[in-house]
Amino acid sequence: MTCLKNNVTILPFFYLCILVISCNSAADNNKPKIVTNPEKIDRQTSKSIKIALEYALEHNGKIDDSIRLQLDSVVNYFYNATDYNNVWSNKEKWNPLADSLFLFIQNAALSGLYANDYHFKNLQSLKNKLDGDSLKRMDANLWTKADLMFTDGYLHILKDLKEGRLGSDSISFKKAETTDSYYAGSLTTLLSTKQFTGIFNEVQPQNIGYWELKNSIGGFLDSMDKRIFTYVAYPFKANDIDDSVSFIQTLQKRLNESNCIALTDELPDSLHLRTAIKKYQQQKGIQQDGKISSSLIRTMNISGPELFKRIAITLDRYKQLPDTMPEKYILVNLPGYYLQVWDHDTLVMSSKIICGKPATRTPLLNSYITDMVTYPTWTVPTSIIAKQYLPKLKDNPNYLTKLGLKLVNKKGETVRADSIDWTKYSKGIPFKVMQNSGDDNALGILKFNFTNPFAVYLHDTNQRYLFKNAVRDLSHGCVRVQEWDKLAFYLARNDSLNLKTGETLLYTTDSIKVWLARKENRRIAVKNKVSLFIRYFGCEAKNGTIKFYDDIYGEDKLIREKYFAGK
């Protein structure tokens, strides 16, 4: 019993000791360590770096209350291999590389990055102290913090330039050599070669579109309105009073920033809000209906800083592509409504496209063209059958006939639609709905198949007039290609040019033309499979000017709110 009492008494004291030791470690990182002899300050800095890193590894990267290393394990890996020696200063003086890195961080926006992600404010403050105060220059702890922040900042920049900030998903290609040793080794190389530009350029995408966009940022920043307006998140949660109230408060603040409404502690009534919205709409030269809508909020959220975020997001989306692109590939950019064919870094053809509606989005994916089909039949996706056709079949069993469609059972036999009791079905039907090949077929007269789990493909269309529209998110998910014939003939020529000795090709551009003229249904296997990337690039550079596309699926908005909300 006595032993138990003693343990009960000792335990609180034990935990208190741990707390005191922990606090002392944090305080130790902030406590000045004055070294009057410049010849000895590096040795003390080295000791302090080791102590600070030990603390950081136990406290989620924190060195003190204002500094947190983003890549603490990589930073520790590097210093552990170099006996914790400081690398950015020497005997109370900055190394030239420190000045170069500080300048790069200061101008991080030119690379689509944010300076404060790399300790800019803290480094600026610390640099001013060390440069302007002879007493502080003797403080080894200040040089320690500077060294750690420069190292962490460099490694973090390298990682963001190589991998981006969006996180990996189903379309991201795994980046090679992204281990702690790779990043630490890169810093070792930098310290040896002293060449920032070469190292940073090497890890970024070697894609023409990426570099054209990045090289246009300077001009964009020079003319950018840098005013920061309140971002309005929309839509708010249905039937959630707190969220709707929060939305109105945010909207009121945003309208106040445009001098359209007074900012008070009370929420505006519907009349005041409607009047304020009309005033804002008048400012922007858009329809003055006073209504809250997605288009209104999109307009409010268009500002220089928000457009810069879309540039940053697009640059990071390029980093989800392979490190080395195939020699030949097809790129579909959904917000831009275009398809491109690239051959050895040369754009050989471009075409307008029609992509999926927001409710039936075209998926982002990586694949390759496997075959082409002339005068294809169309099997209607089950989602369209359940959502669109089934309700109408219950009212009119002959509805499919009016659309030129037919019912096919599991045996491949055509079934009369008016012989089916449609009231039995609610989510789907045990039949295929098909359209015969022909000029009126929804797929047009040629389609391109590629491996994917979404049952989508590239194809011609029987509604070619829709390519005249500026806004072309109109399909059920497949991609309609205006210049389908140029794409087909490119694939045919590619197969012919890459034919090996002794091989034979079962088709040519001429045979495709003959089959189309005869309206024959033919499947054409593509021998040299050309890679296909369907992507979502919200902006691109044209002749040094950045063009922004409508965020048709809200993908940029989603990424902005997830990764860039606090920027």
Ordered per-residue pLDDT tens for the chain, 567 residues: 444 444 444 444 444 444 444 444 555 667 889 989 989 999 999 999 999 999 999 999 999 999 999 999 999 999 999 999 999 999 999 999 999 999 999 999 999 999 999 999 999 999 999 999 999 999 999 999 999 999 999 999 999 999 999 988 889 987 766 788 999 999 999 999 998 899 999 999 999 999 999 999 999 999 999 999 999 999 888 888 888 999 999 999 999 999 999 999 899 999 999 999 999 999 999 999 999 999 999 999 999 999 999 999 999 999 999 999 999 999 999 999 999 999 999 999 999 999 999 999 999 999 999 999 999 999 988 888 888 888 888 888 888 888 889 999 888 889 888 888 888 888 888 889 999 999 999 999 999 999 999 999 999 999 999 999 999 999 999 999 999 999 999 999 999 999 888 888 889 999 999 999 999 999 999 999 999 999 999 999 999 999 999 999 999 999 999 999 988
List C-alpha distances in Å: 328 to 346, 347, 405, 519: 9, 10, 38, 30
Residue 178 lies in a domain: yes
Residue 187 lies in a domain: yes
Residue at which a domain ends, from 189, 204, 219: 204
User: How many structural domains are present in the chain?
Assistant: 2
Q: Could you tell me which residues come within 8 angstroms of residue 351 by beta carbon, excluding any fewer than 6 positions away?
A: 338, 339, 340, 481, 482, 483, 484, 486, 487
Residue 223 lies in a domain: no
Residue at which a domain ends, from 417, 435, 453: 435
Residue 133 lies in a domain: yes
Residue 174 lies in a domain: yes
DSSP 420: S
Residue 158 lies in a domain: yes
List C-alpha distances in Å: 488 to 480, 508, 509: 13, 10, 8
DSSP reduced 3-state for 198: helix
What is this structure's pTM?
Answer: 0.89
Nearest one of 456, 440, 457 to 405, comparing CA atoms: 440
Identity of the amino acid at 199? I
Q: Are 72 and 56 in contact (CB under 8 A)?
A: yes
Domain span at residue 411? 385-435
Residue 549 lies in a domain: no
C-alpha to C-alpha distance for 261 and 147, rounded to whole angstroms = 49
H or E element at residue 137 = none
Residue 148 lies in a domain: yes
Nearest one of 468, 456, 464, 462 to 443, comparing CA atoms: 462
Residue at which a domain ends, from 176, 204, 232: 204
